[in-house]
Amino acid sequence: MASAKKKFGLIFNPEKCNGCLECEKVCATVHASSVASNRTRVKVTKKGDKFKATMCVHCEQCPPSEVCPSALLEFHNEGDFWTLDEHRCFACMACMPRCPHDGVFFEGEFGIETAYMCDLCSGDPKCIKACPKGALTLERAREVKG
């Protein structure tokens, strides 16, 4: 029997979110060097009187990784996060519908289309630090016996 594995997950609490979009701003700045960038990896929208964050939550089993023909999604055991090599993506879009959290985004930039997703800032998520209300947290999931 394999030993227990611990896993982190990115958690959004809509009860705490005030819609300030600081998470989006810092993400855009970190990943696209622009606060105005539409390439943020966390997208906050208002649904009724609550806010909703759409992002990769870093599932232990990542359905998009199962369909990428180029195997561009990689799991990093040290930080418990997934990355997508967007520079090698050839825009087949197979990954997008497989994400149960709609956390894979697809967009063109400079005429080149690519998929992209949250990479937890390589294990140090800036969106969590930027959120003044604590609506985003990185939590250890329960132990999963393998």
Ordered structural domains, the chain, with CATH:
31-140 (3.30.70.20)
* pLDDT exceeds cutoff 70 at 146: no
Where does the chain have alpha helices with state H? Answer: 22-32, 63-67, 120-123, 126-130
User: CA–CA separation, 137 vs 9, rounded Å?
Assistant: 8
What is the mean predicted confidence (pLDDT) over 101-125? 83
Compute the mean pLDDT over every residue in the chain, rounded to the nearest whole number: 84
User: CA–CA separation, 35 vs 52, rounded Å?
Assistant: 20
* pLDDT exceeds cutoff 80 at 77: no
Three-class DSSP category at 58: coil
